[in-house]
Amino acid sequence: MASNVQNGVEEGKPVPRIQIYSSSATGVSQFWREKYERDAKKYWDVFYKQHQDKFFKDRHYLDKEWGHYFSGNGRKTILEVGCGAGNTIFPLVATNPDIFVYACDFSPRAVNLVKTHKDFTDSHVSAFVCDLTADDLTDNIPPSSVDIVTMIFVLSAVSPEKMPLVLQNIRKVLKPSGYVLFRDYATGDLAQERLTCKDQKISENFYVRGDGTRAFYFSNEFLTSMFKENGFDVEELGLCCKQVENRSRKLIMNRRWIQAVFHISDGINLSANNEAGVQVKENMLKDAGENVEVDLSEGFAAEMFGSSPSHDKEIIELGDLNFEIERLSREYQHTCKSTGLMLWESARLVASVLARNPSIVSGKRVLELGSGCGGICSMVAAKYADHVIATDGDTKALDLLTQNVTSNLEPPSLDKLLVRRLLWGNRDHIGAIKEINNRGFDIIIGTDVTYIAEAISSLFATAKELILSSEGISKDKEPALILCHIIRRVDEPSLLSTASKFGFRLVDKWPESFSGASENIINSWFSENGPENLPSTALNILYFRME
């Protein structure tokens, strides 16, 4: 929720412009990589909970592309890996009524969607939950009994280091004469480029989408090498390229995917003729142009057409004050660079404190630094204060903040609250706020604005410029800077040292007091048992006054 910084305000010591999030392409942190792997099933289960069977297109192109593999004498047995909502299964059954399909997915919701489909029958389909990286397919399918395995935009959802486990698993149930029909994302696809720009890279060619699901982008070399190392040879291989046009937005997007057929290796190396055959197939697919149908699955619409991550609303209840706050949906928060598009626990705590102790801001002029999109502290303060300004450096957060303020407040509270942009250290922004209130502010609030070390000096410098002078003011009415945060990248001694350089004196802290505390202020805000429903036990409050 902290604002950006530009042009230092301390005389002779310009502060370089910084951002509250890293702008370097560092990719996904180790913590999130492990979480995406650990919770992969949960993310896909949530996906199917939200979209049901309305997101994916039925894959009617399968008969056109691979129809000859499904035809022939005798009843064919098919294994659909990663069956999803059944968009491959039911078009296949409709076209080839003699086949029998085993359908598995590691999302229980997806399997349930298959079982409740109007065309599902036990005589044609057996659906079951299975994690191919951990569960044994032979628990549900007899060994060496499957004629065809279909893998349509599914292996890309598996972390690269676990892909061999999937191939070894399907090899157990595939007949020696069977085939694997494969289609999945190729390197250079526009979705990969978009995810790269969003700094959502997990590892080489492996990315996380906004909803927590993952996608790997295959090269011909990686794909064929991996299959061969796990006992498969290439029968066909094609790199498919197609332009997709969004006419309403005047966008043309290049889609790339790999289409291949593999069979179990007979131990004989591919001949030169066979390799040439693969290359001919690749060129044929490139030239297919409009005859190749594009699969708009796996979040393609959101990634390709640039639709904004969804927002949702949260009800905040603070005594007799209730706010309906629109914010970035939780499913996108872990990949969003703007920290101002979500509600932080520190803001919830301070808003609750203000609602229970209106005397903190009653009749005063209040400034909030790094309000973010919610601005709940400012909205509570506006009920009791004379004047409130909510600020942030992120323009997207400010747009959402303005919307939340206007939809939740009514006069006179609405008339007392202004929303302004403030990059810490930006003289123009500071000057504009001084024009609104040239006397300075009695109370300045900052929630979770102390986690970037480079921003701390500019935070206190900006607060010093805008706080009311304490000269000639009685002790009980002295202006104050109130910070609430969870200690992250900046330790408390560094924070206090910087505050002192700009003339701020710590007079109280919570939850633990300190030997230099001159007053007992913060504990009086809570009941004897402390705050009720504390969002996090790691929260800290610091109360400063000017020297």
Closest of 407, 402, 357, 398 to residue 380, by C-alpha:
357
For residue 33, the model assigns a pLDDT of 85
pLDDT digits (tens, 9 = 90+) for 197-246: 767 889 999 998 877 889 999 999 999 999 999 999 999 998 888 776 65
Q: Is 80 helix (H, G, I), strand (E, B) or coil?
A: strand
Per-residue pLDDT band for 475 (boundaries 50, 70, 90) equals confident
Prediction pTM value: 0.53
Closest of 368, 485, 437, 338 to residue 4, by C-alpha:
338
pLDDT digits (tens, 9 = 90+) for 40-91: 888 888 877 776 655 566 676 787 788 888 887 778 999 999 988 888 888 8
Task: For the chain, give the mean pLDDT.
Answer: 82
Return d(Cα 206, Cα 216) in angstroms, integer.
4
pLDDT digits (tens, 9 = 90+) for 94-115: 888 889 999 999 888 889 999 9
Q: Look at the domain 311-546 and name its fold.
A: Rossmann fold (3.40.50)
For residue 247, the model assigns a pLDDT of 60
Return d(Cα 138, Cα 140) in angstroms, integer.
5
pLDDT digits (tens, 9 = 90+) for 266-320: 754 433 334 434 443 444 444 344 444 444 443 444 444 334 455 668 888 988 8
In contact, 481 and 467? CB cutoff 8 Å: yes
Mean pLDDT value across residues 347-374: 95
pLDDT digits (tens, 9 = 90+) for 324-360: 988 765 545 544 555 667 788 899 999 999 999 999 9
Closest of 488, 455, 495 to residue 370, by C-alpha:
455
Q: Which two tokens stand for residue 269?
A: 């190396």
One fold for both 30-298 and 311-546? yes
Return d(Cα 413, Cα 350) in angstroms, integer.
18
Half-sphere exposure of 395 (CA within 13 A, CB side): 0
pLDDT digits (tens, 9 = 90+) for 110-121: 899 999 888 889
Return d(Cα 475, Cα 85) in angstroms, integer.
67
CATH architecture of 30-298: 3-Layer(aba) Sandwich (3.40)
Per-residue pLDDT band for 125 (boundaries 50, 70, 90) equals very high
In contact, 38 and 458? CB cutoff 8 Å: no
Strand partners, 245: 252
Domain coordinates of the chain in residue numbers? 30-298, 311-546
For residue 511, the model assigns a pLDDT of 87
**DSSP secondary structure, 223-282, as one string:** HHHHHHHTTEEEEEEEEEEEEEEETTTTEEEEEEEEEEEEEE--S-PPPHHHHHHHHHHH
